[in-house]
Chain A
Amino acid sequence: MPGGAAVLPPTPGILISDGESNMHDANETFIIPIGPQHPALKEPGHFQFSVDGEVVTGASVRLGYVHRGIEKATEARNWVQNLYLLERICGICSHIHAMAYCLGVERLAGVEVPPRAQAIRVLTAELERVHSHLLWLGVAAHEAGFDTLFMYSWRDRETVMDALENLSGNRVHYSVNVLGGVKYDVDEPRAQAIFAVVDFLEERTRHYLNVVSSDAMFVQRTRGIGVTSKEQSLRLGEIGPTARAAGVPRDVRVEAPYAAYGAYPVEIILETAGDLEARFIVRINELFESYRLIRAILGDLPEGPLTVQRMPRKIPAGETISRVEAPRGELFYFIKSNGTDRPERIKVRTPTLCNLASVVALAPGHHLADIPMLLVGVDPCFSCNDRGVILDYPDGEHDHWTWDKLRQFAIDHYRNR
């Protein structure tokens, strides 16, 4: 066939997508044209594991399915437009991105944001942490085959979505931040509504803690699995709840307080076991700490304006670094201005990138059935429901699985133990 076409194995993750043993499909061959630039096109699969028997001997990751080219795009937008772009890096932790950006730009501009605005930013950030951790709890439960817990936690999470919508008018992408302050105020009725949400969720969270630490099936999938020592965690450069589960006291809110965290100090949540169970316990305890913070802020909101008097359109030239604690760990922004109304360069290092590096390093030596929980334990970008998994065997053969198949494999493996 002209144009360099070749006969290749079927596309991974598509044909064998319903979990049945489709021997027929696995042996089908397709003519797939290969472009001139890539004579040996590697089939895209998010994860590639070398396995010997059922033990993982090597792991690698291929990202890019969600790569949109945002950093480049910031150079073609002005400072205000970028606020709305950067918020949309992530729909789960949109506010923390906007906050990191605003804090950096405000520093370059030399403006001082009023305390009421900073407090509302922190309040929103903690509400966001609550929604994110509850979302994660549901997703993690689903990975382990606990769909009931998934449904309950997402149902409960709706209350905090209501609170965020009450505050900002939107359930997702609340856009509370403006350069120089915040757009929305917290009046007495809103405050009362948020108190009610926190009271309700605190009780529910006690129930989750109980389930996670005492349900036999859950404990079997998490206790003693994926153990990382404190030394290993430091060497891997882990951040966020994953690091804290190994006893590493790393939390930007505590070590480098920003916005209003100086006025509302955070108590760091640590575990020492460093296993998957510890990662669950840390996040659930962080929920309690967030509830406490939310109550503290609402009970002591400073008076004053919501924004600075004037925010310049052109930001003075300079470089700044903005570090904040997103629900998944440290979020790092490097912002460079050339004195115009558009940035020279914005670099965003998301916590997930850092966490993925640690999972990839940790995977070898583990049973394939532990991989889904290991990954979910670092709270990755969850919506890659089409993740393909390539398994490489010592004899050179390989299999292509969907993530669904890997998840079911893990659930069945533990059920049959």
Chain B
Amino acid sequence: MMNLDTAWQTALDRVKTWARVNSPWLLHYNTGSCNGCDIEILATLTPRFDLERFGVKLQGSPRHADILVCTGPVTLQSRDRLLRIYEQMPEPKFVAAIGSCAISGGVFQGCYNIVGHIDEVIPVDVYVPGCPPRPEAIADGIIKLLHSLQVAEAGRGTE
């Protein structure tokens, strides 16, 4: 069984390296979740886990976001807004689906008011399972995405 502390330290070192190059801005959107995943996402940015010190920032505008961090089973009412937010994000853009509901609908599969998978509405780049996933897991997912972003940046030339 992996030692959580070691894994966490390794992950943090990778973020530090990456963040010197770029400072990813996250946009958080809840498509109808129970808030479990959302509070763990917020916890990732508070002092104990503190992704913020590496420049990972949560902010409010799709226009400035690199990564859309998405929770919830996509209720019908939130579906269109999700699509519009995604469309407003500039390239390169990435989507992280956080939690079982975002991936498959979770316990809400079969409910009448949900779409059930975020990837039925927008493309998803990283899936972080859990109900909810713990902050370390969420951070790990974001870090994997950051590497994709770095690769994309390197291959882009002038912007």
Contact = CB atoms under 8 A, between A and B. Distances in A.
A68 B108 CA distance: 7
B73 to A, nearest CB: 7
B134 A171 contact: yes
B36 interface: yes
B124 interface: no
Which of B39, B106, B111, B113 lies at the interface centre, i.e. has the most chain A CB atoms within 10 A of its CB? B39
A84 B46 contact: no
Contacts of A13: 81
A336 to B, nearest CB: 20
A383 B62 CA distance: 17
B46 A151 contact: yes
A191 interface: no
Interface residues on A, range: 35 or more
Contact of B32 (A68, A91, A92, A152): A68
A223 to B, nearest CB: 28
B114 A85 contact: no
B110 A383 contact: no
Contact of A73 (B36, B48, B110, B131): B110
Contact of B75 (A66, A158, A172, A173): A66
B36 A172 contact: yes
A72 B111 contact: yes
Contacts of A89: 34
Nearest to A89: B34
A286 to B, nearest CB: 20
B1 to A, nearest CB: 14
B36 A154 contact: no
A345 B38 CA distance: 30
Given A70-B108, A91-B132, A154-B42, A65 B36 contact: no
A64 B75 contact: yes
Contacts of A358: none
B39 A92 contact: yes
B73 A68 contact: yes
Contacts of B110: 73, 76
A179 B58 CA distance: 40
Given A68-B114, A91-B39, A155-B47, A383 B33 contact: yes
Contacts of B85: 14
A269 to B, nearest CB: 24
Nearest to A67: B113
Interface in A31-78: 44, 64-70, 72-73, 76
B127 to A, nearest CB: 18
Given A69-B114, A155-B46, A383 B81 contact: no
B43 interface: yes
B139 to A, nearest CB: 14
Interface string B81-110: 100110010000000000000000011101
A88 B106 contact: yes
Contacts of A402: 60
A196 interface: no
B63 interface: yes
B78 interface: yes
Nearest to A64: B77
Contacts of B117: none
Interface in A148-166: 150-152, 154-155, 158, 161
A185 to B, nearest CB: 23
Interface string A78-98: 000000110011111010000
The 9 closest A-B pairs by CB, nearest first: A91-B36, A18-B61, A383-B38, A155-B47, A69-B111, A154-B46, A69-B112, A69-B113, A91-B35
12 contacts: A67-B77, A68-B32, A73-B108, A88-B34, A88-B107, A88-B131, A91-B33, A94-B34, A161-B43, A171-B40, A171-B132, A172-B132
Given A19-B60, A73-B111, A152-B47, 13 more contacts: A13-B81, A17-B60, A66-B32, A68-B114, A70-B108, A88-B36, A91-B35, A92-B36, A92-B39, A150-B46, A154-B47, A384-B30, A386-B29
